[in-house]
């Protein structure tokens, strides 16, 4: 009897397990179908099938969709702020919470916000540009920068002191801090907390022996890169970040439905191709797509494709690109990479340097005298100064986590296995980057052809200007000589006839 009872109980449990498994499988299938339907519906509504004839023509508003760690800040300070007066920037370009596109004469928007920002903009009057970077390098740069900024807080005795100081500064000042901007408002606090925890652990354990010479695997000092890339925060924000940003599906999206779509795509990888298709189509429709790795060619193309049109519009509409040095919108955008404690621009020495670089470059850059050639020269001078400032700030920050030091040589020492892991986590971005390379190549060829045609036209015009007036006289002289020869020939022929008659 006992055996029978035990057998019956086991049978019931088995049946329960089978039913539960079947129910779970059914629920999972239903969830997948729901996600597939949701993603396909979003993709269908997001793909604008209409071919834009004028996609390379600059419209009233230029929206720079700035993908983090692609060199966009250099473009902002050394190109865009030379072309647009501060008064023409949309208010608080990098601050989602205070953005107001309804400002009169709002001509330039530069922001880390994703493509969902277009829902707030007049689509038919907006041109979009962006810059993409090799996904592996972008992951490295994101890791390094989040640690670099977080390390600036290590001047404080503890984490509590650091966070309290930031809170007091936010109440005191109105500037925009790095900690207010996506994705750094998530990544920097995460790394800041981690750095303090590791420093506290070293202090409690006494003298610390650093077991590794690899800056990307120095766990006593900083979070190892492998741990970083596999953390849920990194998976949520960093990996395939460019694709999600261009698709408008970041965790910072303006559209409510974007969050469900994003959740479904992250859960079911097979649905990610729909996101990639949308991102590719949006790249196709952009005014300009630059590449971080092809820096020189990208800058030249920007000057010729975007810069030339801004200058032309500037002259046509008679608005001046003279700098407004104390404009508040410039203050907010210039504080992006400044020290978190003093990043509210009025009190930031590094922010002041960035502003100084920007305003110096603007001097003389008016709608009347700016040309593509001058814009390129100003850009080269500006990036030299800006890079020097950034390098000094980076060196100062990384001293606080010595002996960890992120250099090109240190990157080359990272194991191939870890590089392959980064690749596998960023499959969408790698595909999108290759697609962007093709777009860039085609646009670069078109620019070269147009440049060659324009040069020939200028040379022809110069030739006509140099020889056009005298050529009229030459024509008249030639015609006169021809008529004279004709008259002489007729006269000689007539004399010969007369001579034959007399004979």
Phi, psi of 52 (to 5 degrees): -85, 115
- Predicted local distance difference test score (pLDDT) of residue 222: 96
Residue 251 lies in a domain: yes
Q: Taking a C-beta distance cutoff of 8 angstroms, is the pair 147, 191 a contact?
A: yes
Distance CA 251, CA 259 (A): 7
The domain of 112 spans 54-452
Distance CA 104, CA 102 (A): 6
Residue 501 lies in a domain: no
The answer for 212, left when phi > 0, alpha when psi is -120 to 50, beta otherwise, is beta
Q: Taking a C-beta distance cutoff of 8 angstroms, is the pair 218, 179 a contact?
A: no
- Predicted local distance difference test score (pLDDT) of residue 343: 43
Residue 126 lies in a domain: yes
Residue 35 lies in a domain: no
Q: Taking a C-beta distance cutoff of 8 angstroms, is the pair 180, 336 a contact?
A: no
Residue 27 lies in a domain: no
Q: Taking a C-beta distance cutoff of 8 angstroms, is the pair 122, 163 a contact?
A: no
Encode 207-226: b = buried (16+ Cβ within 10 Å), e = exposed.
eeeeeeeebbbbebbbbbbb
Number of domains in the chain: 1
Encode 73-82: b = buried (16+ Cβ within 10 Å), e = exposed.
bbbbbbbbbb
Residue 467 lies in a domain: no
- Predicted local distance difference test score (pLDDT) of residue 296: 93
Measured over the CA atoms of residue 480, residue 486, residue 492 and residue 494, the dihedral's sign is negative
- Predicted local distance difference test score (pLDDT) of residue 196: 97
Q: Is the pTM of this model over 0.85?
A: no
Residue 16 lies in a domain: no
As averages over each run of 10 residues, the pLDDT of the chain (503 residues) reads: 67 65 62 93 82 81 96 94 89 54 79 92 93 98 97 95 85 74 95 96 83 91 97 96 97 90 92 96 96 95 95 76 40 41 37 40 51 93 93 94 93 96 98 97 87 70 55 61 66 56 42
Distance CA 424, CA 135 (A): 11
Residue 481 lies in a domain: no
């Amino acid at each position: 009897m006992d055996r029978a009872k035990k057998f019956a109980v086991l049978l019931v449990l088995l049946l329960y397990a089978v039913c539960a498994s079947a129910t779970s499988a059914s629920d999972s299938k239903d969830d997948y179908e729901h996600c597939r339907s949701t993603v396909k519906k979003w993709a269908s509504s997001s793909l604008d099938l209409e071919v834009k004839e004028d996609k390379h023509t600059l419209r009233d508003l230029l929206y720079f969709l700035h993908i983090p760690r692609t060199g966009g800040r250099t473009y902002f300070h050394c190109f865009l702020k030379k072309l647009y007066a501060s008064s023409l920037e949309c208010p608080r370009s990098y601050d989602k919470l205070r953005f107001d596109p309804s400002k009169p004469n709002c001509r330039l928007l530069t922001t880390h916000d994703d493509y969902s920002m277009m829902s707030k903009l007049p689509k038919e009057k907006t041109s979009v540009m962006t810059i993409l970077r090799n996904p592996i390098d972008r992951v490295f740069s994101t890791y390094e920068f989040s640690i670099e900024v977080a390390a600036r807080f290590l001047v404080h005795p503890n984490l509590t002191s650091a966070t309290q100081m930031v809170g007091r500064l936010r109440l005191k000042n109105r500037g925009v801090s790095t900690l207010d901007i996506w994705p750094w408002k998530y990544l920097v606090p995460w790394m800041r907390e981690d750095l303090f925890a590791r420093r506290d652990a070293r202090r409690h354990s006494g003298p610390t022996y650093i077991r590794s010479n690899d800056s990307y695997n120095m766990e006593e000092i900083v979070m190892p890169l492998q741990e970083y890339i596999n953390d849920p925060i990194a998976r949520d924000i960093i990996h395939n970040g460019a694709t999600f940003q261009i698709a408008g599906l970041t965790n910072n999206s303006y559209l409510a439905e974007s969050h469900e779509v994003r959740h479904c795509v992250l859960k079911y990888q097979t649905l990610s191709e729909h996101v990639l298709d949308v991102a590719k189509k949006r790249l196709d429709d952009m005014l300009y797509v630059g590449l971080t790795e092809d820096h020189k060619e990208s800058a030249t193309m920007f000057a010729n494709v975007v810069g030339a049109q801004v200058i032309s519009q500037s002259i046509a509409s008679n608005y001046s690109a003279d700098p407004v040095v104390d404009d508040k919108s410039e203050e907010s955008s210039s504080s992006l990479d400044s020290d978190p404690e003093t990043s509210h621009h009025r009190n930031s020495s590094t922010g002041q340097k960035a502003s100084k670089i920007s305003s110096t470059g603007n001097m003389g850059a008016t709608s009347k005298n700016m040309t593509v050639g001058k814009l390129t020269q100003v850009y080269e001078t500006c990036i030299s100064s800006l890079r020097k400032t950034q390098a000094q700030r980076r060196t100062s920050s990384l001293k606080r986590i010595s002996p960890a030091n992120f250099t090109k040589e240190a990157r080359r020492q990272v194991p191939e296995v870890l590089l392959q892991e980064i690749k596998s986590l960023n499959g969408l971005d790698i595909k999108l980057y290759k697609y962007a390379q093709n777009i860039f190549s085609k646009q670069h060829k078109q620019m070269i052809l147009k440049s060659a045609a324009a040069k020939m036209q200028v040379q022809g015009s110069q030739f006509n200007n140099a020889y056009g007036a005298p050529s009229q006289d030459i024509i008249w002289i030639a015609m006169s000589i021809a008529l004279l020869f004709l008259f002489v020939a007729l006269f000689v022929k007539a004399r010969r006839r007369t001579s034959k008659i007399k004979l």
